[in-house]
Amino acid sequence: MNVDHLDRRGAGAASGRPQGAGGTARPPVRGPAVFLDKDGTVLQDVPYNADPGRMRFEPGARAGLARLARLGMPLIVISNQPGIGLGKIAPQDLVAVRNRLSDMFREAGAALAGFYYCPHHPRATVARYACLCACRKPAPGLLRLAAACHDVDLRQSWFVGDILDDVEAGRRAGCRTILLDNGHETEWLAGAWRIPERIEPDLDAASRWISVQCPRTGSGGTA
């Protein structure tokens, strides 16, 4: 799996390590996380945008991030970025996007724990990104990678997105899922993996539901 991502902390260190593996290494304590789609969920969707100056919160996202931060779970962004494969943006452009996103999380009282993206597209014009990969949502590859890097228990975790491909990726990874019904899903392709546990109007409402369902983990929260 050829995965580009910008969060290198722990990358590779935990990948492929089976749970309960023997030997001298102590198995990591895996906890829940909240995975978030970027465009149309946290940010207003500006197609192929790599300009930090055009990044704006979706309605409800700032309040939602603030509430999620108080739960103490890592907040990890999972994004399809086919603009890279289609030659519309360069991978290095996403460094500024990631930095601005991190600042926006901080301004909302939260912390961005990781930013993972898929640069591929089946009809990419940049040859190295033209493939059927395992990381482009609705595939769950990025969620599994992020979970390995951050010692996340996917079954305790949530994925919040604004289209059914997000729901499918989340469910295939074993997460609980919330669909934001904010008008961005237009095709409504049905499927067994594409039924969310919950439908909410925005991230503020979704965060309220998660906070009701999940006890605080106690790490990183600020009461």
Question: Which residues make up the interface to Zn ion (CB under 5 A)?
Answer: 118, 120, 133, 135-136
Question: How many degrees, rounded to 5, is the angle at CA 188 between CA 182 and CA 189?
Answer: 150
Q: How far is the CB of 132 from Zn ion (least distance, A)?
A: 9
Of the pair 73, 133, the CB lying nearest Zn ion is at: 133
Q: How far is the CB of 23 from Zn ion (least distance, A)?
A: 32
Q: How far is the CB of 135 from Zn ion (least distance, A)?
A: 3
Of the pair 106, 128, the CB lying nearest Zn ion is at: 128
Residue 35 near residue 19, CB atoms below 8 Å:
no
Structure tokens at 214: 């999940």
Of the pair 42, 118, the CB lying nearest Zn ion is at: 118
Q: How far is the CB of 133 from Zn ion (least distance, A)?
A: 3
Q: What are phi and psi of 110, to 5 degrees?
A: -120, 180
Sheet holding 75-80, edge to edge: 112-118, 75-80, 34-36, 158-161, 176-180, 198-200
Q: How far is the CB of 119 from Zn ion (least distance, A)?
A: 6
**Tally of CA atoms within 13 A in the half-sphere of 214 that contains its CB:** 25
Q: What are phi and psi of 176, to 5 degrees?
A: -80, 145
Of the pair 64, 161, the CB lying nearest Zn ion is at: 161
**Identity (one letter) of the amino acid at 223?**
A
Of the pair 67, 136, the CB lying nearest Zn ion is at: 136
CB atoms within 10 A of CB 5: 22
